[in-house]
Amino acid sequence: MSNESTMAPQEGVLAINTPVRLHHGGTLDSLRIGWSLAGEAGQPVVLALGGISASRQVFDPAGGRNGWWHEIVGPGKALDTQRVAVLGMDYIGASGTSTGPAAGGSFPGISSYDQADAILRVLDHLGIAKLAAIVGASYGGMVALAFGERYPQRVERLIVISAADQPHPMATAWRSVQRNIARLGLACGCSTQALELARALAMSTYRSPEEFAARFRAAPQMTGDRPVFPVEEYLAARGRDYAARTRPESFICLSESIDLHQVNATRIPVRTEVVAVREDQLVPIADMRALTARLPDARLHEFSSLLGHDAFLKEAEQLRAVLALVYPGESP
């Protein structure tokens, strides 16, 4: 393979035209699962899964900034696509090509186990007998754990970043407020503005207090008759970006899925690298250490980052060594 590029990805949508029973008791009349695979024939395949805003477009094979993990994944990057093929998926319930809630419609509860079942369907469809690894961050780490419990024979290694076997109650508290803001917006006919506000609130939990202190100490600027604070402008911009590409119903569905997540770590025999960020407010370091202790075959990798929960998106050098474990011939 060229040292400068990765072949254009294959993309598709797998259609299941029979009813699909879900973990929490609901049923989908049919199911669509969007996927993307970039790499060459014969390469080990790594599935990359991110937070609830991630999609099947993991990186830009042309080397640009498209893709939710473009700073980490690509030719010569921390997860080197010259050495592995990368599979991405759209989550069930999201606003991508997979089945999700329609505007104004209801949708059954989705479990991390349901996402694991969808992964299995895609692997069978593509003829992938066994993944070299699942690298899952945030919600993606939860899904990786669910897959490792249900289908351990189909994956060689899990790399779980900033995700535990169950959510922390404080994080659930923050997300429940965000969901209620989004629900209020739907009820009042201002769903876009409410989703922007819910996302802004979420962004305040993704980074560390120290990072906000370093970035947003400047004095406010007067706009009309009120002050506008630098952090306020940042949060508002992130809210607008998110609401432009996400339906509020999808946000509510997948946010709930995070808080419904519960796996039995003692029943996950797959070799697991647990990656924890000490400044993560959403997944405290104590929860990551406890997860490592419960897993039968796991190692804990800790690092510090002012980016907190968002560290997995940008801390390439901090992640490089553990991500290298997915390559053939690396240490077990």
CATH code: domain of residue 15: 3.40.50.1820
What's the token pair of residue 227?
A: 């002050």
Mean pLDDT within 76-82: 94
Looking at the domain assignment, is residue 23 inside a domain? yes
CA 151 to each of CA 146, 210, 274: distance values in angstroms, whole numbers, following the listed order: 8, 40, 19
Decide which of 235, 257, 279 is a domain's last residue: 257
33 Rama class: left (phi>0) / alpha (psi -120 to 50) / beta: beta
**In terms of pLDDT, which residue wins out, 50 or 223?**
50
pLDDT of residue 332: 60
Give the single-character DSSP code of 240. H
pLDDT of residue 227: 93
pLDDT of residue 2: 41
* Active-site residue flag, 280: yes
85-114 residues labelled b (16+ CB within 10 A) or e (exposed) = bbbbbbbbbbbbbbbbbeeeeebbebbbbb
pLDDT of 5 > 60? The answer is no
CA 100 to each of CA 5, 103, 218: distance values in angstroms, whole numbers, following the listed order: 33, 10, 41
pLDDT of 3 > 50? The answer is no
Please report which helix (H) or strand (E) contains residue 95, including its range: none
Do 132 and 30 lie in one domain? The reply is: yes
Query: pLDDT tens, 230-282?
Result: 999 999 999 999 999 999 999 999 999 999 999 999 999 999 999 999 999 99
CA atoms of 174 and 198, how far apart (whole Å): 10
233 neighbors 223 (Cβ within 8 angstroms) = no
Decide which of 232, 257, 282 is a domain's last residue: 257
pLDDT of 107 > 90? The answer is yes
* Active-site residue flag, 309: yes
The active-site residue out of 111, 138, 162, 305 is 138
pLDDT of residue 143: 98
Count, residues in the chain = 332
Do 81 and 193 lie in one domain? The reply is: no
Query: pLDDT tens, 114-139?
Result: 999 999 999 999 999 999 999 999 99
Do 249 and 309 lie in one domain? The reply is: no
The active-site residue out of 117, 280, 287, 310 is 280
Q: What total of structural domains would you count in the chain?
A: 2
Decide which of 257, 291, 316 is a domain's last residue: 257
76 neighbors 34 (Cβ within 8 angstroms) = no
pLDDT of residue 331: 61
What's the token pair of residue 82?
A: 């010259």
* Active-site residue flag, 55: no
Long-range interactions of 168-175: CB distance < 8 A, separation 24+: 168/282, 168/283, 168/284, 168/287, 171/205, 171/281, 171/282, 171/283, 172/259, 174/201, 174/202, 174/205, 174/282, 175/202, 175/255, 175/258, 175/259
77 Rama class: left (phi>0) / alpha (psi -120 to 50) / beta: beta
Do 204 and 317 lie in one domain? The reply is: no
Mean pLDDT within 5-31: 91
CATH number reported for the structural domain that contains residue 209 in this entry: 1.10.1740.110
Q: Which domain holds residue 52?
A: 10-168+262-326
Do 146 and 238 lie in one domain? The reply is: no
Radius of gyration of the chain (CA): 19
The active-site residue out of 90, 208, 250, 309 is 309
Looking at the domain assignment, is residue 331 inside a domain? no
Do 56 and 194 lie in one domain? The reply is: no
pLDDT of 307 > 60? The answer is yes
Q: Check: pTM over 0.75? Answer yes or no.
A: yes
Looking at the chain, the whole-number percentage of residues with pLDDT higher than 70 is 97
Do 222 and 198 lie in one domain? The reply is: yes
Looking at the domain assignment, is residue 4 inside a domain? no
Q: What is the mean pLDDT of the chain?
A: 95
Partners of residue 32 on adjacent β-strands: 15
